[in-house]
Amino acid sequence: MNELAKKNIECLAEKMKDIEGGIVNYVNKNGNQDKTVYIDRSANEELILAKEKEGRMWYLNSRYNARHAAKVLADAQGEIHYRNIFILCGLGNGMYLQELLKRLGDENIVIAYEPDPEVFVSLIENVDMTESFGDRRVLVFAEGINTNTFSQYFGIIFRYELIDLSKFIIAPNYGRLYAEQIQEFHDMCWREANMLQGEKNTLADIGYEMADNVIANLWNMSKHSTVNELAEYFENAGVDTENVPFLIVSAGPSLDKNIEDVRAAKGHAFVVAVDSAIRKMLEYNIMPDMIVTVDSHKPLVLFEDERVKHIPMVVCGQSRQEVYRQHKAKMFVFTEDEFVLYFYRHFGHDIAPLRTGGSVANNAFSLALLLGFKKIILVGQDLAFTNNKKHASNVYEESGISEEDSYKYTYVTDINGEQILTFRNFAMYKDWFEGVIRDNEDVKVLNATEGGANIKGAENCTLKEAIARWCNVSFNASIINNVPDVFADEEITSVYDYIVEMHDRCDELNKSFNEEIKNYMRLKELIAEGKTGGSAFNSVMKKIQKFNDMANREPLVHLISMYSSKNEHEALEGLYEEKKSADREAMTAADKGIALLEGYKQGCELTKQAFEKLIAGIV
């Protein structure tokens, strides 16, 4: 790559660290292939790009006046709301992005997607894109380079209340050349949006419960390992993750037909059960090597068998506190929570997240990737109502398929190519698997469920066939008991001091919330008096911004917002709808800010009480 490309990459890497490695890998892998992208000049001597496909040359910019065409595309977006998010499919020579940015405000965001990595490399080698790429409003994703990192950024870009304000733009000729890639990216965007919506709805429903678990589990977490230690131990111990398969046992209805076959994999695979599959496995006296449990409200009946307490378990901060307290075997913690991440990093320890599409089986799959396994077998992963059943027998006492719940259902394609009924969220879990399998080409996946939804990218086979093909190397899972705990004995006292410090910090934050409410009240007075441009108004706005900066840095605010998530959901709903005037919009924002802070005050008190309960239990 030339110096201009390096300059463009350096600019992008400042905010998207993974993109440099993705570009280098692509160039190293494809550098010797025949070119299909060419540099040309428009009628008025502008640099433009062209793509050769099926013997025809397709221009990605106007051959006559590329700048004018880019302006027309940008102007076609019409009136722009100050919180619109634009998803631009197709960079061409960069002018589409440049012209769009000129028309946007400070609060707008652009997700720029290039479906052809060869086009992207040609662009950065021939056009100085540092101004656009360096713009804080821009994130860039190129197919085959860094789209596998998209979900890491999506939650930062989007809030659930902004989803309806997003606009999808397809640059000229891109729809003809890259229809499949653009459709996949479109689907990925809305899949992530739906998951984000689901997460927000979950927070509104059970945020209180999740925050309670995080605080209650802090002390127990400090006495166990993290998934980071597990991954490091596997690497140092020389576990043959290239050949030993990672077998995920889920609780789909097809598990009834092949549960006995799981026994044959023991000792030749790392057999990991999701929490809902435990009862079924123990019914057949099959002990998994590890259990993964995530949900803050998972039924405790799944864990009531005494044997469960002696099986190593992967948990997160939000997992049920009752499970933490009663467990006697090794536990490995991952993070789904900002406060837990901050807690570990405060003591100089790192802790990895396990990506998920909403299902604990997704978390288990991410664990396999973190540990470096290259062969993954799925069992009981129906993700559909096989034989009109939702789960295997002896898992839950559950109702059947009902007409009144029809709004929760949809259809997907099963392993035989037929349509099969499923939950909408099950379909999202399936989509997640397909996306991650597509992004990890070096990992092979066998779907040995023997029923249910077809998972693209996974090869369908019976469990007997999967075991015969892949379970040929011995594996002693008991080595995980040798993984060291994350905190040394001398650090435990510091953990207790930190917990007390967080308890005391609640009082300080409550004072800050009261002061901020006063700022918003003063802001409303100034708006009502029409004094929105003077020094008094600017002074109040600076105080509000200072508070917002503090709140964004403060780890406890995340916990507090979980306790008050229902208030937050209601306060932010409709905040970014069009208003008749700027003053009216500002007044509405102030009202919602006050409502949000009142919720934070309640959440702060609940957070303090939870820490008091934890401290009393430790003492």
- How far is CA 441 from each of CA 117, 366, 373, rounded to the nearest angstrom? 17, 14, 13
**pLDDT for the residue numbered 155:** 63
The H or E element that residue 131 is part of is helix 130-133
**pLDDT for the residue numbered 165:** 76
pLDDT at 141 over 80: yes
Tell me which residue has tokens 């927000």.
Answer: 200
Distance in angstroms (rounded) separating the CA atoms of residues 230 and 442 = 21
pLDDT at 71 over 70: yes
**pLDDT for the residue numbered 156:** 60
Across the strands, what pairs with 110? 86, 138
Could you give phi then psi for residue 18, rounded to 5 degrees? -80, -15
Give the tokens for residue 373.
Answer: 């396994």
Among candidate residues 58, 98, 100, the one with its CA nearest the CA of residue 78: 100
Per-residue pLDDT, averaged over 500-513, amounts to 95
Contact yes or no for 273/291 (Cβ under 8 A): yes
Q: What is the C-alpha R_g of the chain? A: 27
E strand residue ranges, 266-418: 270-274, 290-292, 313-316, 331-334, 375-379, 409-413
Could you give phi then psi for residue 113, rounded to 5 degrees? -120, 125
Residue positions counted in the chain = 619
- How far is CA 117 from each of CA 51, 63, 92, 168, rounded to the nearest angstrom? 12, 22, 11, 20
* Prediction pTM value: 0.76
Contact yes or no for 149/113 (Cβ under 8 A): no
Question: pLDDT by residue (tens digit) across 24-70?
Answer: 888 888 877 789 999 999 999 999 999 999 999 999 999 999 999 99
Quote the DSSP letter at residue 484. P
pLDDT at 225 over 60: yes
Of 9-13, 74-78, 201-205, minimum mean pLDDT range: 201-205
Distance in angstroms (rounded) separating the CA atoms of residues 619 and 610 = 15
Q: Kindly write down the DSSP assignment for every residue of 477-539, as one continuous string.
A: GGGGGGPPPSS-GGGHHHHHHHHHHHHHHHHHHHHHHHHHHHHHHHHHHHHHTT--SSHHHHH
Question: pLDDT by residue (tens digit) across 532-554?
Answer: 778 898 899 899 889 888 888 89
pLDDT at 556 over 70: yes
Question: pLDDT by residue (tens digit) across 108-119?
Answer: 889 999 999 999
Quote the DSSP letter at residue 164. G
Residue 174 — very low, low, confident or very high, per pLDDT cuts 50/70/90? Answer: very high
Helix (H, G, I), strand (E, B) or coil at 350: coil
Which range, 220-224, 243-247, 572-576, is most confident?
243-247
Distance in angstroms (rounded) separating the CA atoms of residues 363 and 246 = 13
Task: Sketch the domain layout of the chain as residue ranges.
Answer: 3-177, 203-482, 489-618
Of 128-142, 201-215, 276-290, 468-482, minimum mean pLDDT range: 201-215
The strand pair at 166-170 and 85-89 is best described as parallel
Question: pLDDT by residue (tens digit) across 396-423?
Answer: 555 666 666 667 788 999 999 999 999 8
Distance in angstroms (rounded) separating the CA atoms of residues 188 and 146 = 14
Across the strands, what pairs with 459? 446
**pLDDT for the residue numbered 51:** 95
The strand pair at 56-59 and 47-53 is best described as antiparallel
Contact yes or no for 339/233 (Cβ under 8 A): no
The H or E element that residue 41 is part of is strand 37-41
pLDDT at 395 over 90: no
Among candidate residues 160, 210, 195, the one with its CA nearest the CA of residue 562: 210
**pLDDT for the residue numbered 387:** 84
Distance in angstroms (rounded) separating the CA atoms of residues 226 and 141 = 31
**pLDDT for the residue numbered 190:** 78
Distance in angstroms (rounded) separating the CA atoms of residues 383 and 617 = 40
pLDDT at 589 over 90: no
Distance in angstroms (rounded) separating the CA atoms of residues 517 and 533 = 21
Among candidate residues 390, 313, 361, 354, the one with its CA nearest the CA of residue 458: 361
Exposure of 95 by Cβ count < 10 A (0-12 exposed, 13-18 middle, 19+ buried)? Answer: buried
Give the tokens for residue 120.
Answer: 């992207």
Give the tokens for residue 468.
Answer: 């015969």
**pLDDT for the residue numbered 449:** 97
pLDDT at 616 over 90: yes
Strand-by-strand arrangement of the 85-89 sheet: 138-142, 109-114, 85-89, 166-170
Per-residue pLDDT, averaged over 162-189, amounts to 87
pLDDT at 81 over 90: no
Contact yes or no for 214/560 (Cβ under 8 A): no
